[in-house]
Structure 1
Amino acid sequence: MWITILNAPLPIVSAAPYLRREPFIRVEQEVCGMAQRGGGRSEWERQQAAARREAERAAREAARREKEAEKLRKQQHIEKQQKLTENRTREISQRIARLDSILTDTLQRAPLGFDDLVVKPKIPLFDPGPLGIPESEPTWAEYDPEPPGLVGLLFGGAGRHGRAIERAEQEFQKALTAHKKRESQRNSALLKARREHAERVRKIEDKTQAENTKLKTRAVEFSQSRPEAVEWFVERILDRSTYPKGFPKKTQIAYRPQNRDVVIELELPPTSVIPDVRGYKYVKTRDAIDPVPRPPSEVKKRYAQLIARVALRTLHEVLSATPSDVVEAVVFNGRLTTTDPATGQTTRLHLLSVASERSNFEKLVLSKVDAVACLKRLNALVSPNPYDLEAIEPFIEFDLKRFRFTEDFDVVSNLDSRKNLLELSPTEFEHLIRDLFSSMGAEAWTTIPSKDGGVDAVATSKDIFFGGVCLIQAKRWSKLVGLDAVHALTGVMADHNATTGVLVTTSWFGRASEQFAQRNRVTLINGAELKHLIKKHLDIDVVPGVTPKHKPRASNNKQSGRPGPTQ
C-alpha cells in the first residue's frame, strides 16, 4: 500500500488541512479500491482459503483411498477365510477317501515274495577327493631366467646369465624332488583310502551275503512249514502294509502247522480316525469358520466299515503271498487298546474275529464287496457296536497260541521222566484235570459218568475264565478232535443247563471245531495249551504224547507259483 503526498508548494495556512487529512483520505480510498478488487478479502485471506480447500480435498481423497483399501482388505480376508475353509474341507474329504480305499488300494499291489526280501548291497562310490587330483609337475620354463639383451652381453651379461641358469637349475631340481615326494605321499594316501574303501565294501558284501543266506534258509524252512519261518514271513508281509496316519502297527502272529493256518492279532485303529465333521463353512456375519458335524450314525457306520476293510485286507495280503501247501487259512482277531471309562485303566477289547479258508476267500471279488456284508458271509464275529466299544470273544484266544506242539513229542515220550498224558490211566487223568481246574479257581467238582472213556465234570466258579456253571469234558486222544465232539458237548450242556463248556484234549482241534465252539460258549484247550496250564498252575512238566499230523501237501513252491529266494 503506497501513500502519495503532493509535492506542490502550498501556502502555509492552507496546507495544514491537507497535511492533516489528504494522505489518510487517499490511503483509505486506495485500501477500499483494493478490497473492492479482491472481493472484500485480502490476498492472505485468499491464500488461506485456497489452502483450506486443498486440505479438505486431500482429506476427502485420503478418506476415499482408505475406504477402498479397507474394502480391499475385507475382501482379501474373506477370500483367505474361504480358501482356508475349502482347504480344511478338502483335507477331511481326502482323509475319508484314504479310509474308504484301504482295501482296494492293496489289491493293486503285487503280493510279497521271498525274492522281494533279497538284500541288495548298497556299495558307496569311492570318492578320493583331493587325493585323486595329481599335482602338476614343475617345468623348466617356470625357472629359466630371461637371456640378457645386446647391451647386457657387452657389459658382462653372459657370465651373469650363466650363473643365473645354474641357480635356476638348482631350484628346479629342488622343486622336482619336492614334487615327487608330495606325489609319493599322495599316492600312498590314495592307496590307503582305496584299501579302506575296499574293506568297507567287503564288509557290506559279507553282511549282505549272510543276510541273503539266512533268507534262503528261511525260505526252505518256510516251505517245510516251520512255525518260526512262517511267522517271520507273515510279519514281513504285515510290516510292508502301510496305513494312514493314526493307525497303530502292533501285531501278534502264530502259525499252527497241524491246521496249516496263521493266527493274527492286529491292533485296530482308534475310533478317532473317523473325522467327526463332514467339512467346514465360512460365516461372513461372524467372520468364523464353523465345522459341519458328521452325523453320529454315519461315524459309527464308517468305523464298522473301516475295521471290516482292515480285516479283509489282512486276509488278502497273507493268503495272496503264501502258498496253499503252507497256509490254508487265516484267523484274524482285531483288538483295540483303549481306556475303560469305569476304571480309568487301559483295556484291550476284541471287536472282530474272522477265520477264512483259502478256497472260500479266493471266490470273493474284493474290489466290489461291502466289507461288513462280506464278513457276515464269512461267519465272522463282529461287535454289534464297534464304535461304542462293545467287545466280543474271538474265535481263538491268541495268548495260548504260542504254546505249540514240538516235533520231539513222539520221540521223547518214552525216554524222559515227564508224565506222558496218554499213558495215564483214566482215574489218574481225571485226578490231574480235577486238580488243574481246582487250582484255577473251580469251587465245586462233580463227576458225570460218561461212556466215551473221557472225564466229564461240572465245575462252578466266579473267578475262573469259564465263569458260572461249567461243564468240562476231557478227551485223552491221540488224533484230531472233530466237530462231532464239540456238538456232543453242547448237547450235554443243554441237558444240564450249563452256562459254558470246556473241552480238554491231549491232541488238537480243527478250525471248524474252533469256530463252532466260539459261537456256542465252549472253550477248547488242546494238548499244547494243556501242557502249559498244568505247568503254570500245578508246576508239573508233562508231555501231551502226540504230535499233530501234517496234512499231505498238494504241491511244492514251484508248482504253486510261489517264488523262492534268488539263488
Structure 2
Amino acid sequence: MTSDLQSVITELESLLTVGTGRRPGLSFASLKRTVEVHPFDPGDLDKPTPAPRWDQFAPRPPGAFGRLLGGAARYEQEEAAARQKYEHRRTQYAATEVDRLRRLDMRRNAYDQKVSETAAEVQRYNTEVEEFERDIYSGDSDAVAQFFTLVLDASPYPDGFPHQTRAIYRPEAKELVVEYELPAQTVIPSKRHYRYVQTRDEIDSVERSIKEIKDRYARVVAQLALRMLHEVFTADPETIIEVATFNGHVSTKDRATGQPIRPCLISVSATRERFSTLVLTDLDPVACLKHLNALVSPHPYDLEAVRPVVDFEALLSQYKFVEGMDVVASMDSRSDLLKMTPTEFEHLVRHLFEAMGMKSWVTQASKDDGVDAVAVNEDPVFGGLCIIQAKRYSKAVGIESVRALAGVMEDKHATKGILITTSWVGKDSRDFATRHGRIQLIECEEVKYLCKEHLGLDVLISLPKPPPSRH
C-alpha cells in the first residue's frame, strides 16, 4: 500500500519531465488514414466439386459364364440405366458449376465495390485533413485552435486529471490562449504511508501534513502550466504561434456557500523566444513561473483566485473558441452518435466504460472511425484485462471484426472482449461470440440503454434502416 502511494507521488512529481521527454503524439500524417482491406475471401466458391465420371456409374460386365446364362442382355439394360443416371448427374453438375461461378462473381463484385467505397471514403477524409492543414498554415483561427486542442487533448496524464481544454487563436498577435481544467486538490494523496502496529496486529495510516499537500499541489499546477506551454510550442508546425497563454481553472464548490465556483489559479504568458531559453528538465517549476512573471494563486490549495493575464471570456466576443473533448458534458439530450467525430466518439466510449467500472483506459483510433481500447475491470471475481473495440457504423458489423477481436484477446491474454457498435451484428457473429464464450456484443439499442443508464444521456442513432430482427 505504501509503495502505491509513493508511485502516485512519483508520477505527480514527474509531470513536467515526462511531458518534455515526449514529442506531441499528433501530426497531420497521423491524422490521415490508409486503405486497409482484408484479402478477398471466396469461401469455398473457388473450389469446384469433382465432375462425375462414367466409371462411378458403369455396371460391372458379366463374365464368360454369365453371358451363357443371359447376362449380356441384363448388362445392356443395366448399362443403359447407368448411362441415363450418369448423363442426369452431368447435367446437375453443369448447373451447379454455373451457379457456383455466378455466386463467386457476385462475391467478387461485392468485395471490389466495398474496396472502392473504402478507398473513396479514405480519400475524402484525407482530403479534409489536407484542407485542415492548409487552413492551419494560412493562419485560420478556427483551424489553428482546433489543431492545438487536439494536441493538448492527446497528451496522457495520470488518473484524476480532466481532459477539458478550450483554445482561441488570435492571428494578428500569433497568440494561442488556452483555458484548461486543473485537477482537484484531492489528486494529492492524503495518506503519507502505512505502518504495521504489532501490539494491536493492525495497520495504521500516517496522514500527510496539510503543508506538504499544499506544496505538492502548487507544484502540480506549476508543472501543468509549463508542460502545456512546451507542448504548444513543440507541436507548432510552422511557428504559427509566437505567444502562448495558459489559464488554469479548477471546478469546485465554495466552502463558505456550497455554490459551484471555477477560480483561475494560474495564468502565464510566454513568447516562443523566451520560452526556448528554459531548460525544463533542470528547473524548479514554481520558481520558473515567477521568472515568467506568471500570475499564480498564493494559496492554490485554498482556491484563492487570480485575474488571468488574458481574459478568455472577454475574447469570446471577438473569436470563436474550440472546446476540448468533455463530450458527455457538452452533449444535448438527443445527440446523434453517427454524427460525432471519431475523437468525440472515442471520448464518449471512454466515459461510458469508465462509468461502468473500467480503469486504466488506453485507446488508439482504429482505421474505420472506431476505437480500439485496453481497459481493466477491477472486479475481484470477474475482472481482468478487457479488450474493447467500438465501431461507429451505420451498416452491419461483419464477422471478421468479431474474429479480429478474438485474435487481439489471444495476443494480449485478455480475460474478456467487448465489441460495441452503433449498428448491429449478424447471426454468424453472435454464434461465434457464443462459441468463444468470452466475447460480449453490444448493439445499437443496448448502446442507447447504457448511455441512458450510466451517463444519463438520451442519445439518438440515426441508422438508414432498422436493424434486422433476430428471429
Q: Which residue of 2 aligns with 1:104?
A: 17
Q: What are the Cα deviations for residues 122-178 of structure 1, in whole angstroms up to 9, with x where unaligned?
A: 334433334344333333343333444554344333333333233223222222222
Q: Which residue of 2 aligns with 1:328?
A: 242
* Partner Cα separation in structure 1 for residue 45 and residue 194 of structure 2: 62
Q: Which residue of 2 aligns with 1:198?
A: 112
* Partner Cα separation in structure 1 for residue 50 and residue 206 of structure 2: 75
Q: Which residue of 1 aligns with 2:100?
A: 186
SS of 1:269's equivalent in the other structure is coil
User: Relative to 1, partners in 2 of residues 1:286 and 1:229: Cα closer, same or farther, differing over 3 Å?
Assistant: same
* Partner Cα separation in structure 1 for residue 112 and residue 155 of structure 2: 36
Q: What are the Cα deviations for residues 521-540 of structure 1, in whole angstroms up to 9, with x where unaligned?
A: xxxxxxxxxxxxxxxxxxxx
* Partner Cα separation in structure 2 for residue 386 and residue 355 of structure 1: 18
Q: Which residue of 1 aligns with 2:187?
A: 273
Q: Which residue of 1 aligns with 2:164?
A: 250
Amino acid in structure 2 at the alignment position of 1:105: V
Cα deviation, residue 356, structure 1: 0.6
Q: Which residue of 2 aligns with 1:396?
A: 310
Q: Which residue of 1 aligns with 2:2?
A: 89
| Paired residues of 1:121 and 1:204 also in contact (CA < 8 A) | yes
User: Relative to 1, partners in 2 of residues 1:284 and 1:211: Cα closer, same or farther, differing over 3 Å?
Assistant: same
Cα deviation, residue 284, structure 1: 4.7
Work out which of the residue numbers 122, 128, 137 in structure 2 matches 1:214: 128
SS of 2:263's equivalent in the other structure is strand
Amino acid in structure 1 at the alignment position of 2:15: I
Q: Which residue of 1 aligns with 2:406?
A: none
Amino acid in structure 1 at the alignment position of 2:278: L
* Large movers: runs of 4+ above 6 Å: none
Answering whether residue 176 of structure 2 is matched by residue 241 of structure 1, we say: no
Amino acid in structure 2 at the alignment position of 1:95: V
**For residues 384-463 of structure 1, what are the structure 2 equivalents within 5 Å?**
384-404=298-318
User: Relative to 1, partners in 2 of residues 1:302 and 1:168: Cα closer, same or farther, differing over 3 Å?
Assistant: farther
> Structure 2: 5+ residue runs without aligned partners?
321-471
Cα deviation, residue 349, structure 1: 1.2
* Partner Cα separation in structure 1 for residue 42 and residue 164 of structure 2: 45
TM-score, normalization by structure 2? 0.63
| Paired residues of 1:331 and 1:355 also in contact (CA < 8 A) | yes
Answering whether residue 90 of structure 2 is matched by residue 176 of structure 1, we say: yes
User: Relative to 1, partners in 2 of residues 1:132 and 1:346: Cα closer, same or farther, differing over 3 Å?
Assistant: farther
Amino acid in structure 1 at the alignment position of 2:265: L
SS of 1:291's equivalent in the other structure is strand
Q: Which residue of 1 aligns with 2:70?
A: 156
SS of 1:330's equivalent in the other structure is strand
Cα deviation, residue 323, structure 1: 4.6
Cα deviation, residue 337, structure 1: 0.7
Q: Which residue of 2 aligns with 1:525?
A: none
* Partner Cα separation in structure 2 for residue 345 and residue 145 of structure 1: 99
| Paired residues of 2:170 and 2:176 also in contact (CA < 8 A) | yes
| Paired residues of 1:137 and 1:176 also in contact (CA < 8 A) | yes
SS of 2:308's equivalent in the other structure is coil
Q: Which residue of 1 aligns with 2:405?
A: none
* Partner Cα separation in structure 1 for residue 242 and residue 124 of structure 2: 31
User: Relative to 1, partners in 2 of residues 1:122 and 1:95: Cα closer, same or farther, differing over 3 Å?
Assistant: farther
| Paired residues of 1:278 and 1:293 also in contact (CA < 8 A) | yes
Answering whether residue 252 of structure 2 is matched by residue 341 of structure 1, we say: no
Work out which of the residue numbers 290, 304, 316 in structure 1 matches 2:218: 304
Cα deviation, residue 331, structure 1: 0.3
Q: What are the Cα deviations for residues 330-374 of structure 1, in whole angstroms up to 9, with x where unaligned?
A: 000011111222232222111111101001111111122221111
Q: Which has the higher helix share?
A: 1
| Paired residues of 1:256 and 1:262 also in contact (CA < 8 A) | yes
SS of 2:176's equivalent in the other structure is strand
User: Relative to 1, partners in 2 of residues 1:129 and 1:324: Cα closer, same or farther, differing over 3 Å?
Assistant: closer
* Partner Cα separation in structure 2 for residue 177 and residue 282 of structure 1: 88
* Partner Cα separation in structure 2 for residue 301 and residue 105 of structure 1: 20
TM-score, normalization by structure 1? 0.53
| Paired residues of 1:124 and 1:201 also in contact (CA < 8 A) | no
Aligned-residue RMSD, C-alpha = 2.3
Count of residue correspondences: 319
SS of 2:221's equivalent in the other structure is helix
Cα deviation, residue 96, structure 1: 2.4
| Paired residues of 2:190 and 2:208 also in contact (CA < 8 A) | yes
| Paired residues of 1:256 and 1:404 also in contact (CA < 8 A) | no
Amino acid in structure 2 at the alignment position of 1:309: Q
* Partner Cα separation in structure 2 for residue 90 and residue 182 of structure 1: 70
Aligned residues: percent identity? 40
Amino acid in structure 1 at the alignment position of 2:6: S
Cα deviation, residue 324, structure 1: 5.8
* Partner Cα separation in structure 2 for residue 156 and residue 361 of structure 1: 112
Cα deviation, residue 270, structure 1: 1.3
* Partner Cα separation in structure 1 for residue 41 and residue 138 of structure 2: 46
* Partner Cα separation in structure 2 for residue 405 and residue 103 of structure 1: 30
Cα deviation, residue 382, structure 1: 1.1
> Structure 1: 5+ residue runs without aligned partners?
1-87, 407-567
* Partner Cα separation in structure 2 for residue 405 and residue 267 of structure 1: 20
Amino acid in structure 1 at the alignment position of 2:192: R
Amino acid in structure 2 at the alignment position of 1:92: L
User: Relative to 1, partners in 2 of residues 1:284 and 1:176: Cα closer, same or farther, differing over 3 Å?
Assistant: farther
Q: Which residue of 2 aligns with 1:46?
A: none
* Partner Cα separation in structure 1 for residue 91 and residue 10 of structure 2: 74
* Partner Cα separation in structure 2 for residue 394 and residue 163 of structure 1: 107
SS of 1:129's equivalent in the other structure is coil
Higher radius of gyration, 1 or 2 = 1
Q: Which residue of 1 aligns with 2:48?
A: 134
Amino acid in structure 2 at the alignment position of 1:375: L
Q: What are the Cα deviations for residues 306-334 of structure 1, in whole angstroms up to 9, with x where unaligned?
A: 12111111111110111564110100001
